């Protein structure tokens, strides 16, 4: 079984933010949004932890508009990220999408479980962010702290494979073009690092259980993702 290897810190956060933005996340982002809405109630106040360039918040607003979800007409999304360069990209994307009214941005440190106020959102979401953190449990505590009573947490991330061979199989399937390289960094390289830094299913279930949630709310939802979909501890 592979041991977890945390990702190295970015030498140039602005450059890495640009590389991330250029990668094609459309299908996985759309799947995230569809699964979120199909799995239960959402909002009206949504918090996106580690929002990056705000692609998920934009898709949330577009989904509500396209499906004419009347009960979510007042949907408000707060995207938070610790990377200033990512937030700069997010502001540009939000403006281009014409979503300045529905989406707000805030800098917050996901390694500090008190970086946000309590009872902040009805739904807390987080998409493939935890594997970037040395201590993912802190971000999980932050997510639960920010939830309002009865709130829902929906978190998806990569799962660490059991072998190097499985890592390489997933990189070959989902890593994109190896020659699409910027400053020596390619999408396959980033995915390989991310898979090694991810938590396996047993580890994330142990973390969730330790925070008072039912471990059964964590399930494999693709060949490379697990998903947490549950309620605040102690809330029926």
- The predicted-structure confidence for 38-85, as pLDDT tens digits, reads as follows 999 998 999 999 999 999 999 999 999 888 654 566 899 999 999 998
Overall pTM > 0.95: no
- The predicted-structure confidence for 101-144, as pLDDT tens digits, reads as follows 999 999 999 999 999 999 999 999 999 999 999 999 999 999 99
Handedness of CA 134, 13, 195, 32 (dihedral sign): positive
For residues 34 and 50, what is the distance between their CA atoms, to the nearest angstrom? 19
Query: Do residues 159 and 224 touch, judged by C-beta distance below 8 A?
Result: yes
| Of 8, 30, 18, 19, the residue nearest 177 (C-alpha) | 19
| Of 108, 107, 158, 113, the residue nearest 132 (C-alpha) | 158
Q: In this structure, what token pair is assigned to residue 103?
A: 């989406």
Query: Do residues 86 and 17 touch, judged by C-beta distance below 8 A?
Result: yes
Query: Do residues 211 and 144 touch, judged by C-beta distance below 8 A?
Result: yes
Q: In this structure, what token pair is assigned to residue 172?
A: 């070959």
| R_g of the chain computed on alpha carbons | 17
Q: Which domains does the chain have, with CATH numbers?
A: 13-159+202-228 (3.40.50.150)
Helix (H, G, I), strand (E, B) or coil at 199: strand
For the CA atoms of 7, 186, 81, 137, the dihedral, rounded to the nearest 10 degrees, stands at -30
Q: Name 127's bridge partners.
A: 156
- pLDDT at position 9: 77
| Of 153, 190, 196, 165, the residue nearest 4 (C-alpha) | 196
């Amino acid at each position: 079984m592979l041991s977890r290897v945390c990702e190295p810190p970015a030498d140039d956060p602005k450059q890495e933010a640009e590389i991330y933005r250029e990668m094609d996340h459309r299908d996985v982002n759309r799947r995230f949004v569809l699964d979120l809405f199909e799995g239960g109630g959402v909002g009206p106040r949504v918090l996106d932890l580690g929002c990056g360039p705000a692609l998920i918040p934009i898709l949330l607003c577009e989904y509500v508009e396209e499906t004419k979800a009347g009960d979510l007409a007042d949907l408000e999304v707060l995207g938070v990220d610790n990377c200033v360069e990512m937030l700069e990209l997010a502001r540009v994307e939000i403006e281009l999408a014409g979503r300045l009214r529905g989406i707000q941005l805030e800098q917050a440190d996901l390694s500090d479980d008190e970086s946000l106020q309590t009872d902040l959102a009805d739904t807390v979401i987080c998409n493939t962010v935890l594997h970037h953190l040395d201590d993912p449990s802190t971000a999980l505590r932050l997510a639960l702290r920010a939830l309002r009573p009865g709130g829902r947490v929906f978190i998806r991330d990569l799962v660490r494979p059991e072998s190097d061979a499985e890592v390489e199989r997933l990189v070959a399937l989902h890593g994109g073009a190896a020659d699409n390289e910027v400053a020596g960094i390619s999408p396959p390289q980033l995915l390989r690092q991310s898979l090694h830094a991810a938590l396996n299913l047993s580890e994330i279930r142990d973390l969730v259980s330790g925070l008072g949630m039912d471990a059964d709310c964590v399930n494999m939802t693709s060949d490379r993702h697990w998903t947490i979909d549950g309620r605040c501890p102690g809330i029926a």
